[in-house]
Structure formats: structure tokens, C-alpha cells
A and B are shown apart, each in its own frame.
Chain A
Amino acid sequence: MNRRQTRLFAIGSTALATIVFVGLTIDSHRQFPELTNADTITPAVTRGKDVWHEYNCINCHTLFGEGAYYAPDLTKIAQHRGEPYLTAFLKDPSQFYDEQRHRRLMPNQDLDDEEIASLIAFFEWVANVDNQGWPPRPILVAGSSIPGTSMTLAQQDASGPGSTDETLPPGSRPVSEEDDPVALGDALFNSATPTCSACHSIAPGVNLAGPSLAGIASRAEQIIGSEEYQGDADSVEAYIRESIVAPSAYLFPGEMYSANGTSFMPTTYAESLTSEQVDQLVAYLSTFK
């Protein structure tokens, strides 16, 4: 090739690639409204996006997998955590995580109520964007979707009422009486004997020995309104409480979960947990909308 030909190659290939790229960009714009549910971008969502930028969240977190790697991805956070939990967390992260234990902590951002509500609306919108199903498996902030991996056997044995900080699994934070009931319930979920997290994940679609408890609050509402339901519960909270203390009152469909009208979930919790502890678990689980 001589010089002119090589130059022609440089110009030609650049021009060709540019034309195709611009064409596809135009077509993408045609599809953006549908893929991103543009009609649901309310003023609150836009405001939430601005708050997200204003507080530089992107330089610790990733969103759609883009950002920094110091803190968990938040693309689907609105599907994992309900509004009450996120509100409580964003008001004071140290209520939910312990810096000594996790070696990092989200600094309190001093967000006001309006900012928090907008952020949550923004996360809702993000979680529903059609992004080819990424992430392929739920990304959890803490804990585990595999039974047992978040604690050693010794820890499982030593947990429950009366356990000390040292025996808690790494995914949970030492709590004290003054803490938010939701945070207490979160800790208990990982430390009751036998631990709930051994059978239940809080990630959507990850069913272990027991069904995933993601979205349990919305599901409870549907169940108590349905014909099959024979139990006594008349509210979401009452339903969850009943599921813990009397597992067989309603059976979650599926052969792997029950047989002959009896649930596989332990019936010991009515005895081993105090009534307050059950309340805390209920408070925690009912945040999963």
C-alpha cells in the first residue's frame, strides 16, 4: 500500500464506523422511552437523580455497574429493600452496619426527608429499567444467599438470645436495645437459632429450603385477601407473625416446602423467641415490599 491508500483507509473506515454509530444512536433514541419507562420519570425521580449527583454517591457506589467499587451496586436495591428500610438506613447508616466489623461504613449524608423520598423514587425507577436482566444474580449488600456461608457452625450454635458480639456472623452488626426495631430484626434474622437465613434469602428468586422472603409484604397482602387463606391474620404484620410462630397456618405452595399439611419450617420459634423479638422480625420483614 502506498501513502495515499493508507490515508484513504484511515478516513474511509472512520467515516463508515461513524455513520453506522450515528444511525444506531438515532434508533436507540427511538427506543429509550420504552426501555427506560420514560413516562414514569416523575419530578420526584428527576429530583432523586439530582440528589444522587449532588452527594457524589457515584464515587463510592456503582449504579448500572458504573461508578466506584468501595460500596455495593444499587441498581436493584429498590427490589431488595422496601421504602421503610431505605428511609431508616439513609437517615443513619450506622444503625444498620458496624464499621469495626465490616471495616467500612457509609458516612451519614445528612439527607433530609424530601431528599430521601426522592432518592427512593429514583431507585425505584432505576430498578425497573430494562437492562438485559443485569445483574444475572442478585447482588446482596451483606449476608449471603447460600445457607451457612455467612456463619461458621460454632457461630450458628452460639447465636440466639444471649449471644455475644463475637459470635455474630460477619454479615450482621452488634445491636443494642436502643436500636431501631428493623435493625434488631435484621440482626435476629441472621442469629436466631436455627438461623432464618439458613433457609430464607432476601434476594428475589433465590429459594433455599424455604421461599425467598423478598417482597413478603406485598405477597402477604395478596395471600390474606385470597380464598385459600384460612388463617386468622388480617394485616401484613399479623400474617408474618403467624408464619413465624405457627408455620402451618398457611402453607406456601410447593412440594419442597411442606407435606401432609405440615410446614417444614421449625415450630420452635414461638418458644425460643420472646414476643418482642418476633415483633422485631416482623418489623424487619414487613419492609420487604
Chain B
Amino acid sequence: MRYKSQSVAYWYFAVAMALFGLQLVFGLLSAAKYLGPDPLLYILPFDVTKVIHTNLLIVWVLTGFMGATYWMVPDESRTELYSTRLAYIQLGLWTAMGVTAIIGYLFRYGTGNKLLEQPLPHKIVIVICMLIFLYNIGMTIKKSGRFTTTEGVLLLGLASAAVLYIPALLHYENYTVSIYYRWWTIHLWVEGVWEMIQGGFLAYLLIRLSGADREVMDKWLYVIVGLVFIAGILGTAHHYYWVGVPSYWLPIGGFFSALEPVALVGMAMYAYYAMRRSGLAHPNNLALHWTIGSAVFTLFGAGLLGFAHTFPSVNKWTHGTLITAMHGHAAFYGAYAMIIMAMITYALPSLTRGRSEDSNSLGYWAFWLQLAGMFGMTLSFATAGIGQVYLERILGLGYLDTQLKIQIHFLMLVATGSIFAVGVGLFIYDFFRLPPRLSVDRDDPALSTQAVR
């Protein structure tokens, strides 16, 4: 830690990790309900556990993004944050929003619109928090006068994420139109502006960890952003096939969304080359694992598994089955959960006391157990989903009868989900194991590692 104000990141990461743990509790509960019968049918039915599971995901990932940004911007702009007070106020407001939203869901207080269930007051608080955040970061950069490309891409991603949330605040009379605009938020987030955020963090980490050349990284980053948007914006149409929109969206969606993996291949390639051509061996090898891991798992979960069902002729059969859940898990984990854990792992030796840069074996266990668990979960959802597509969608067996025939895959889901949860448990334990460091002091390992451009 070079700048004292970077320590606000610790508290953002702490909140994110706590919510991550809670997310898994509700994930495992939901999966157990697939097996049924459900003793909690009238206390905590599936719809409640699922909405909490996905909303916790969104909240902790955004918390992680914000924390990681508060960590990265002082480093890049070489200055203290404009206001740590604002950052703490924002975190308080944000956490209160998240916690009350979750409590509300227990009582079915929500909009009942997939992934955008946050009630209007909460949505407004989200917008306010985003504005405070962007203001704080913007002023920091303005104050320092140093604005790097990495930062620019990251910030533009964050600001666009806020802008794209606006359609979610509006009300639509026509259900089809409301679906149309739901995807402006959800799809353009995960397959557009959030990928900019991921790209920004990735570039930052690669420059720091492997000493990659900034000039080269900047060029890669621009090319990737261009590829993301040329495919991703019109690729939104892969959600428009069967919802009541004009038929020209079918070929458009098929063509452009099929191009989306190109950017992800680019991202994995630049991570790989940066690692190979590195001029510097940073001792935090575990952070490098998470960084490269994120790029590779994104290529698998989003690129390959997204591509697998993105053509209309395939999606016609797989739409709305467990195949979607297979892809959703692998993609979200690889792209967003892993990049945040990469940033945390990179920052943690400086943010806590008594932690060396050389990674401990606990950290590796957390990494590999999570990877194995998530891969197993992806396979479980995939096998269940393939069974569902053939039996229910193609042969015409009833939904309930089909679900009975694929029970074994749900057992596998619970088993592999538990392995995954152990990995996450270790990561969280490792995070909270040592007390935070709240000032810049001499024994900070970051100060002894070589300064970078």
C-alpha cells in the first residue's frame, strides 16, 4: 500500500466476502430444493432462496468492483483518494441498501422482475451510491492530473454500468417491452460494460504482476473494448428470439453473439502472453493464478458455453432450461468472481498485517477447490440440462416427470457445490485471518517490491 487511503478497499472487500459466503448458503438451499420434498415450503420457498442468491451475487460483485477501484485508482494516478469519508459513507449506505433488500425479499418485498428485483427505493439508493462513487473517483483523478488508459477503460465501464441501470428504473405496461429493456441492463452489463471493468483490472494486474509493457497493454485493451462492443451490443439480440419482437433479431442475434467470444479469446491471449513475456517475477504468484485463471475460465464459461446455445436453431430447444444455469454460473464466476478475487489476492498482503507476498498453501487450496467445485457444478447443470432438453423439450415428456428423471444430476450439483463452498470458505477465512493494516508502514511488502511504471 503506497497510499493510506487505499485502505478503504479493505472494508469494501470485507463486505463483499461476507455477502459472497451468504450467497452460497442460499445457492445450496436452492439446489437442495431441486431434490425435494421441501420441508421449508411455506417458510423459505424456492423463489425466495433463489432471489436472495442472485441478488447477493450482484451486490457483492459490485461491492468488489468498487473496492478494487478504490484500491487501483490511487496506485494508477499516484495520489491519495479525494475523500475517504465519502467512500465510507458510500459503503455504509450501500451495505444498508443490500441488507435491507435481502430482508425485504424474505417477505416477498420486491419487483418480481428477474435480476432486477430491487424495490424502487433501493434502486434509487443504488444510483446515489454510484454517483458518490463516480464523483469521488473522478475528483481523485482530476486532483492528480494523471489518467491512464487502464483507468479510463475501468471508469468508462463503471459509469456506463450506472447509465445502463436507468432502464431498470422505468415502468412498462407491455410485458414484452419490459423484457426488451431488462436486457439493456442485464446483457449490456455482463457482456458489455462489465467486461470493460474486467479488462481494466486484468490490465492493471498484468502490468503489476508480470511487468508487461504498458504501451502494449493499452493497445490490447482498446482492441478488446472494440471487439466487445462490436459484437456485444447487437449480440443483445440473443435474448430477443422468443419474446415477441420482430423476426429480424434472430439472424442478428445469431451472427453478432457468435462473435462475442472473439474478445474473450483476445483477453485470454493477452493474459497468456503477458505472463510468458514478463520481465518481472512478482512474488505474489497466487494473485497471478487468479488473474490468468479469470481470463481462462471466462473463455470457458462465457465464450465456449455461451456460444454453445447462442444460435437460434439451438436456443429454440435450450431456452429457459438448466443449460442457461450452467452457462450463467461458469461465466459469472470466471469473469467477475475470479477477477475480484484476483484483485483481493493482489492487494491483501498490503491491506493486512503479517502477511507475506509469497502465497501460503491455504490460498492455493482455496483456489483449486473452488475451480474444481465450479467445474463440477457446471458439469452437473450441463448434464441435467441436456437431459431436460431431450426429455422435456424434444420428446415431450412432462416437466415434472423429466425433473424426476434427472435427480442424480442434482445430487451431483449439491456435492460439487459443497466442494466449491469449502474453497470459498477457505478464501474467506484466509481473508479475515489477519487484522487489517490501516496506515502506510515500513514493513508493507508492497513497498519493498520493485516500483513499476
Contact = CB atoms under 8 A, between A and B. Distances in A.
Interface string B176-203: 1101100000000000000000000000
A137 B113 contact: no
B244 A65 contact: no
Counting chain A CB atoms within 10 Å of each CB, which of B35, B225, B236 scores highest?
B225
Interface stretch (A102-110, A235-243, A258-266, A280-288): A102-110
Nearest to A170: B401
Interface residues of A, number: 85
Interface stretch (A48-56, A156-164, A214-222): A48-56
A246 interface: no
- Decide if the interface of chain B is mainly helix, strand, loop or mixed: helix
Interface string B359-393: 00000000000000000000000000000000011
B246 A35 contact: yes
Interface in A19-75: 20-21, 24-25, 27-29, 31-32, 35-36, 38, 41, 46, 49, 52-60, 62-73
A135 to B, nearest CB: 7
Contacts of B319: 65, 134-135
B51 interface: yes
B174 A17 contact: no
B244 A6 contact: no
Given A3-B215, A72-B400, A144-B397, A53 B113 contact: yes
B166 to A, nearest CB: 15
B247 interface: yes
A146 B396 contact: yes
A100 B37 contact: yes
A171 interface: yes
A104 B38 contact: yes
Interface string B314-325: 001101111011
Contacts of B110: 56
Contact of A69 (B227, B244, B252, B324): B324
Contacts of A104: 33-34, 36-38, 46, 400, 403
B398 A143 contact: yes
Q: How large is the interface on B (under 10, 10 to 19, 20 to 34, 35 or more residues)?
A: 35 or more
Given A103-B407, A171-B401, A14 B226 contact: yes
A139 B233 CA distance: 31
Contacts of B113: 53, 58
B41 A3 contact: no
B319 to A, nearest CB: 4
B46 A59 contact: yes
Contact of A203 (B173, B227, B396): B396
A191 to B, nearest CB: 15
Interface in B106-146: 108, 110-114, 117
A99 interface: yes
Given A27-B246, A69-B321, A137-B393, A103 B36 contact: yes
Given A13-B226, A32-B174, A97 B112 contact: no
Interface string A167-184: 000110000000000000
A28 B103 CA distance: 38
Interface string A1-23: 11100110111111011101100
Interface stretch (A113-121, A124-132, A271-279): A124-132
B170 interface: no
Interface in B398-422: 398-401, 403-404, 407
A95 interface: no
A20 B231 CA distance: 12
A140 interface: yes
A233 interface: no
Given A31-B246, A72-B399, A142-B401, A107 B42 contact: yes
9 contacts: A14-B226, A14-B233, A18-B233, A46-B173, A55-B108, A99-B38, A129-B244, A134-B316, A144-B397
Interface of B: 30, 33-38, 41-42, 45-48, 50-51, 108, 110-114, 117, 173-177, 179-180, 215, 218-219, 222-223, 225-227, 229-230, 232-234, 236, 239, 241-250, 252, 316-317, 319-322, 324-325, 392-401, 403-404, 407
